[in-house]
Amino acid sequence: MKKSKSLLLMFALVLVIGTVLAGCGGNNNNANSGTNAAATNAAGNEGSTNTGTSGDEKLAADQTLRVNLTAEPPTFDPAQAQDSQANTVLKTMYEGLTRMNDETGQAEPGIAESWEISPDGLVYTFKLRDAQWSNGDPVEAADFVRAWKIVLDPNTDPTAPYAYQLYYLKNAEEYYGKKVTDFNEVGVKAVDAKTLEVTLKAPTPYFLGLLSFYTYYPVHKSVEGNTKWATNKDTMITNGAFTLTEWTTGQSLQVSKNDKYWDAANIKLAKIDFSLVNSGATELLSYKNGELDRAGAPHGEIPQEQIPIVQKELPNEFQRKGIASTYYYEFNITEKPFDNVKIRKALAMTVNRQSLIDNVTLGGQIPAYGYVPPGIAGADGEFRTAVKDSYFTEDTEAAKKLLAEGLAEEGLTELPPVELSYNTSEGHKKIALAVADMWKQALGITVNTVNQEWAVFIDNRQNLNYQIARAGWTADYNDPMTFLDMWVTGGGNNDTGYANPEYDKLIADAKASSDLAARQEMFAKAEKMIIEDDMILIPFYYYTNNSLTKEYLKGVTLDFSGAIDFTRAYLLEH
């Protein structure tokens, strides 16, 4: 009896503690509930971009920036890098011939201080500025030739996975395929120490922008014969604003100011400390706790459902910026029932995009009815401004009719259960469940959502082993081509099985043309084909980057694709 009594006492105690804890939560909730559902606005850019220094700002004594990376960059070898996290860090350590101007989305001088382009758009002659490597050696044209040779050499061990990013150069693809064995025939030549001549295969209006990409970065001569140079901070000689000073795998990274950088006078940060936590909840808590100066996209993550909350709580720190990426579902159009365009259209027309954004994704994304996102340059200004994405509308009644017609064509009375696959992620899961329910309610079809581990998912999708699959595409460069050339017949990233000779021709013509207006028209036609005519994919929304920046942190910039540049950042006294 005695035992039971004291146990009951303890049990009661525990319940009391539990209630108190719950009470704490409750208070918080009262302060915030009711605000979240209504919190989303019409999309667009919110918050300031914090550029420029005004006179009365006082710099903090400790210029150490602390940010988190959700994934550790697998490598710091520009030739081997492949992901956005590597991009974030490499951007601080290296500088290419050009830099991306984050305001205009256009290239501006980097290591090259000026250039000339031949009238046919094929030959670029770059004049290099007096820049130095972190060990004091001058940055010369030969450093670019060396770097590009490493990328294009099939015998590099391991071979550069992004070698094809350099296929714009004359004979580059042939050199990789060993059809050309002499690298001198490839379109890059060091005329003298400070002059680099680049010859292209075809006119490429966005080539200057490409040069700011990490695969085009130069490397120091010490890398020759040392395959492990990028695995050790001591052998990493870089030419950017910062150098790698600390690296504990899985734990932390640190870059420190490179005094030899040509523009060192304008670099105010002394150090950037990167933590490597892959939990958005932890990152946000660290930020709120003052352990981080910036949180959220693109380097980190704010948990989806907390976005509307932090937007209310920290309005001065919250920033939203549209980026050039599209979220969509694609169809396997080679198999029944989605070989029928009417059925595909019916599904596309019954997704309530605004409701999805307001209630599920919560990030203020922009509803998408086309494929090329805003922010991508067109002939004059943005492509999306010139070419409206009014390819279809959401219309349940029309969709029902289309579905009925489609089913009749297929000889079906009702659609068999459909499988919708997505890769493991809270965000994708919520969208999949919400969309499955929308289709069920609007069209009465049964949708089974299938969650797959990432590589399995990619493998299945690339092998057309799916019915409907989640997908997203981010710009590689600032041109509609990066979104449209993937849908050509047999294209490496064409996971829908779409094959349309007419489309292929449009893309081929656009690739050969240097007439910006004509290209834009061709792109518009191509986009209409894959959306309005054939609906090989269902666009959902154009991405936004949501982030939190402490008010004392200034000068962090994001480019059109959402890539972040910390180099010109600085911390105010706080």
Q: Determine which residue in the list 271, 288, 511, 528 makes contact with other proteins, applying CB under 8 A.
A: 288
Q: Which helix (H) or strand (E) holds 474?
A: strand 468-474
Dihedral over Cα of 452, 455, 456, 459: its sign: positive
Q: Does 163 participate in binding other proteins (rule CB under 8 A)?
A: yes
What is the length of the chain? 574
Question: Of the ranges 27-35, 133-141, 339-347, 520-528, which one interacts with other proteins (CB under 8 A)?
Answer: 27-35
Interior/surface letters 261-298, b for 16+ CB within 10 angstroms, e for the rest: bbeeeebbbebbbbbbbeebeebbebbeeeebbbbbbb
Q: Does 197 bind other proteins (CB under 8 A)?
A: no
Q: Are strands 468-474 and 418-423 parallel, antiparallel or unpaired?
A: parallel
Q: Give the residue with the Cβ less far from other proteins, 57 or 454.
A: 454
Q: Taking CB under 8 A as the rule, which mask of x and - marks residues 482-521 in contact with other proteins?
A: ----------xx----------------------------
Min. distance of Cβ 462 from other proteins in angstroms? Answer: 6
429 touches other proteins (CB under 8 A): yes
314 belongs to the binding site for other proteins (CB under 8 A): no
Binding segment (CB under 8 A) for other proteins, from list 109-117, 228-236, 504-512, 521-529: 228-236
323 by DSSP, 3-state: which? strand
Q: Name residue 571's beta-bridge partners.
A: 553
Task: Find the shortest distance in angstroms from Cβ 310 to other proteins.
Answer: 10
What residues pair up with 546 in beta bridges, in sequence order?
320
Phi-psi region of 291 (alpha: psi -120 to 50; beta: other; left: phi over 0): alpha
The reply on whether position 6 binds other proteins by CB under 8 A is yes
Residues in region 355-384 near other proteins by CB under 8 A: 355-356, 358-360
> Given candidates 20, 61, 265, 455, which one binds other proteins under the rule CB under 8 A?
455
Binding flag, residue 164, other proteins (CB under 8 A): yes
Is residue 446 a contact point for other proteins (CB under 8 A)?
A: no
Q: Which is nearer to other proteins, 200 or 432 (CB)?
A: 432
Span of 126-134, 322-330, 334-342, 424-432 interacting with other proteins by CB under 8 A: 424-432
Q: Is 404 in the site for other proteins (CB under 8 A)?
A: no
Q: For the residues of 189-202, what is the DSSP string, one character each?
A: EEEETTEEEEEBSS
d(CA 317, CA 486): 37
Q: Verify binding: residue 279, other proteins, rule CB under 8 A.
A: yes
| Closest to other proteins by CB, 30 or 54 | 30
Q: Which of residues 68-107 bind other proteins (CB under 8 A)?
A: 68, 71-72, 74-75, 77, 80, 82
Inter-residue contact 217 to 54 (CB < 8 Å): no
Tell me which residues in 460-489 interact with other proteins (CB under 8 A).
Answer: 460, 462, 472, 476
> For the packed helices 396-410 and 341-349, what is the interaxial angle rounded to 10 degrees?
160
How many residues touch other proteins (CB under 8 A)? Answer: 96
Give the nearer residue to other proteins in terms of CB position, either 227 or 316: 227
| Pairing of the two strands 418-423 and 447-452 | parallel
Contact 515, 496 (CB under 8 A): no
Q: Does 316 bind other proteins (CB under 8 A)?
A: no
* Minimum CB distance to other proteins, residue 483 (Å): 12
List the structure tokens of 486: 């993937």
> 51 in helix, strand or coil?
coil
- Amino acid code (one letter) for 260: K
Helical packing angle, 341-349 and 426-443, nearest 10°: 110
With CB under 8 A as the contact rule, the residue among 57, 116, 409, 426 that binds other proteins is 426
From 46, 113, 174, 305, residue interacting with other proteins (rule: CB under 8 A): 305
H or E stretch covering 88: helix 84-93
At 170 the three-state DSSP class reads: coil
Considering only residues 52, 181, 225, 228, which one is a binding residue for other proteins as defined by CB under 8 A?
228
CB 165 within 8 A of CB 476: yes
Q: Is 411 exposed, middle or buried (0-12, 13-18, 19+ CB in 10 A)?
A: exposed
Question: Which one, 274 or 566, has the nearer CB to other proteins?
Answer: 274
Q: How far is the CB of 340 from other proteins (least distance, A)?
A: 27
Which ranges constitute the DSSP H helices of 153-234? Answer: 172-176, 207-210
**Shortest separation between residue 205's beta carbon and other proteins, angstroms:** 21
Please select the residue that binds other proteins; options are 16, 18, 44, 224, rule is CB under 8 A: 18
| CB-nearer residue toward other proteins: 11 or 512 | 11
Considering Cα of 390, then 395, then 398, then 404, what sign does the dihedral take? positive
Q: Mask of contacts with other proteins, 250-269, x by CB under 8 A?
A: xxx-----------------
Q: Pick between residue 258 and residue 361 the one whose CB is nearest to other proteins.
A: 361
Task: Candidates 48, 193, 401, 454: give the one binding other proteins (CB under 8 A).
Answer: 454
Site for other proteins in 545-564 (CB under 8 A): none
354/513 with CB nearer other proteins: 354
Cis bond upstream, residue 158 (ω within 30): yes
Residue type present at position 11: F
CB-nearer residue toward other proteins: 97 or 163: 163
CB of 255 to other proteins, least distance (A): 17
Handedness of CA 360, 365, 368, 371 (dihedral sign): negative
Kindly tell me which of 452 and 567 has the beta carbon lying closer to other proteins.
452
18/444 with CB nearer other proteins: 18
Nearest CA to 311 among 27, 38, 26, 564? 38
